[in-house]
Amino acid sequence: MEQGEGNLQRLLKWASEIGISDSTSCQASCLGHSLAVSFFPDSGGRGLGAARDLTEGELILKVPKSALMTSTSLSMKDDKLSRALNAHHSLSPTQILAVCLLYEMGKGKSSWWHPYLVNLPHSYDILATFGEFEKQALQVDDAIWAAEKATLKAEDDWKEANALMEQLKLKPQLRTFQAWLWASATISSRTLHIPWDAAGCLCPVGDLFNYSAPGEEPSACESMEHATLDLVNDDSSGTLDVDVSDSRRLTDGGFEKDIDTYCFYAKKSYKKGEQALLSYGTYTNLELLEHYGFLLNGNPNDKVFIPLEPEIYSSCSWPKESLYIHQTGKPSFALLSALRLWATPRNQRRSVGHLVYSGLQLSIQNEMYVMTWISKKCNAILKSLPTSFEDDRLLSSAIDKIQNLESPLELNQLSSTCRDEICAFKSNVVQKGERSSMQSRERWRLAVEWRLSYKKILVDCISYCDETVSYLFHENNSVQK
């Protein structure tokens, strides 16, 4: 802990020496005027808190271009790296940055970036790092598939980059798949968008901001078109992209070409001590897990896609991605419209198209049919999964209590499937050391929390649809009386 604090102090001292500043009034660059590194156990752990009351829209951190770590800034200072990179043009910008990062790590204390590098997390929990047990614990095919794809992609990227790593004579431990996962997770979860490199940049101090979902807090600027920060994930790397096309004040941050500086603005007003957060982008919980290795309880951007009959897709012109259930449990506008149209006899669909696309109910019967259909569908999905919503709720609180793997747990309330899962976890980690078993437990906990949030959306959707059906039923009866 003390060593960690010493490292952090060295990082902050180094950062102010290289021009990173959270003050507009200090002549020289300084840190501690607006922000202070703190620990926020419930929202991201280490993060940046307000060192004083901050006002929405205020500039709170500036990081000059010279302090941003990119493959260009690294190779500029290193001829060997620069020559090697020139021979490997087929690698993607993200692969190149991963190799550069590992190469820089290999320099140890002699690296100019050492104060920054020693403060990077030692391990990550992004989907690509999930083992077979944790992947299966996600239970939902789409999520298991996303995790498998993420690992396969990381493996392919690593194999392709091997020749460059060999050419650079990276130490064997930096050439392993584990080291590659670490480097790619660092890039996926910490880079910020810059216009000149699709891999993004690593931004000392700026990468200590934890995440809050866009739209979580009301902002004076939110009603302005494009005025809130719109961080878009432009590829699978999780790099953050800022829509800077609008000249009005952004409330979060972005690279400002005129001053060659990455600037961060308070996205809302903060009281001293409160955590200052950044909106990395609009992500579902599965995407957060994939790119950042965490998920949000009650993420307003979470959604569930339910499998639909091919005819539903073909009878409407909504894109597939718009047909989902909101985090609140309500079907999306497009999903409702598509189902209302599909539930209409074919020969009448053309005549009701304009009503459907305006989001109007077609008739009480049509609406009741659609709501009942969704409710049944959600029920069928829930039933097809190995554990119930209630099981997962109990399991998710039990996981934290499995401190000592040998100690008997009070498992009475858990279903036999959950008890089996706990046993499988124990035998899965029994071969591993203490550290690996803690990592496995954390990833397992994330998988269980993810499936719990998925099931909660379905459970809420069933309640919403059933309540709507019962309301419509009474309405229909009173119309008929």
Stretch touching ligand SAM by CB under 6 A, among 52-60, 87-95, 226-234, 292-300: 292-300
Find the binder of ligand SAM among 10, 33, 46, 149 (CB under 6 A): 46
- Using rule CB under 6 A, residue 44 touches ligand SAM: yes
Rank residues 78 and 449 by Cβ distance to ligand SAM and give the closer one.
449
User: What is each CA distance from 66 to 73, 77, 203, 326, in whole angstroms?
Assistant: 8, 12, 10, 42
Whole-number minimum distance, CB 300 to ligand SAM, in Å?
Answer: 13
Taking the least distance from each CB to ligand SAM, the nearer of 41 and 319 is 41
Element containing residue 193 per DSSP (H, E): strand 192-194
Q: 3-class DSSP state for residue 383?
A: helix
The closest alpha carbon to 165, from 237, 80, 238, 239, belongs to 80
64 backbone φψ class: left, alpha, beta (φ>0; ψ -120 to 50): beta
Please report how close the Cβ of residue 200 comes to ligand SAM at its closest, in angstroms.
11
Rounded CA gap, 282 and 476, in Å?
40
Looking at beta carbons only, is 11 or 316 nearer to ligand SAM? 11
Choose one: 39-47, 353-361, 450-458, 470-478; the region binding ligand SAM (CB under 6 A): 39-47
Contact 450, 138 (CB under 8 A): yes
Among 15, 208, 452, 462, binds ligand SAM (CB under 6 A): 208
User: Nearer to ligand SAM by C-beta: 121 or 353?
Assistant: 121
Concatenated DSSP letters for 130-146? --HHHHHTT-SHHHHHH
Of 102-110, 293-301, 309-317, 415-423, which part binds ligand SAM (CB under 6 A)?
A: 293-301
Note whether 207 binds ligand SAM by CB under 6 A. Answer: yes
Regarding 45 and contact with ligand SAM (CB under 6 A), the answer is yes
Contact between 293 and ligand SAM by CB under 6 A: the answer reads: yes
How many of the chain's residues bind ligand SAM (CB under 6 A)? 16
User: Looking at 100-108, 204-212, 332-340, 417-425, which segment touches ligand SAM (CB under 6 A)?
Assistant: 204-212
Token digits for 241?
């992209």
**Residues 162-168: contacts with CB under 8 Å, at least 24 apart:** 163/88, 164/84, 164/85, 164/87, 164/88, 164/91, 164/96, 164/99, 165/99, 165/102, 165/103, 167/84, 167/87, 167/88, 168/80, 168/81, 168/84, 168/99, 168/103
Minimum separation from the CB atom of position 420 to ligand SAM (A): 29
Residue 7 lies near ligand SAM (rule: CB under 6 A): no
Enter the tokens of residue 179.
């080291």
Q: How far is the CB of 40 from ligand SAM (least distance, A)?
A: 8
Question: Minimal distance in Å, beta carbon 44 to ligand SAM?
Answer: 3
Based on the shown chain and the rule CB under 6 A, indicate whether residue 180 belongs to the binding site for ligand SAM.
no
Pair 279, 268: CB distance under 8 Å: no
292 binds ligand SAM, rule: CB under 6 A? yes
Bridge partners, 264 (sequence order): 61, 253
Please give the span between the terminal C-alpha atoms of the chain, in angstroms, as a whole number: 73
Nearer of residues 33 and 46 to ligand SAM, judged by Cβ = 46
**Closest distance between ligand SAM and the C-beta of residue 301, in Å?**
13
Based on CB atoms, which residue is closest to ligand SAM, 212 or 437?
212
Angle at 224 between CA 220 and CA 228, to 5 degrees: 70
**3-class state of residue 69 by DSSP:** strand
DSSP state at residue 68: S
Q: How far is the CB of 124 from ligand SAM (least distance, A)?
A: 7
Nearer to ligand SAM, 4 or 359 (CB): 4
Residue with tokens 């994930």: 233
Confirm or reject binding of residue 115 to ligand SAM (CB under 6 A).
no
* Residue 4 is a binding residue for ligand SAM (CB under 6 A): no
Structure tokens at 126: 């992004």
What span, in angstroms and rounded, lies between the C-alpha atoms of 303 and 251? 26
Give the nearer residue to ligand SAM in terms of CB position, either 138 or 370. Answer: 138
Contact 187, 199 (CB under 8 A): yes
Restricting to residues 418-477, which ones interact with ligand SAM according to CB under 6 A? none
- Selected binder of ligand SAM within 14, 211, 265, 369 (CB under 6 A): 211
- Here's the x/- map for ligand SAM, 183-202, by CB under 6 A: it reads as ------xx------------
Stretch that binds ligand SAM, among 44-52, 62-70, 137-145, 266-274 (CB under 6 A): 44-52
Cα(20)–Cα(28) distance, rounded to whole angstroms? 10
Least Å distance between CB 373 and ligand SAM? 36
Q: What are the residues binding ligand SAM (CB under 6 A)? A: 43-47, 121, 189-190, 207-208, 210-211, 292-294, 296
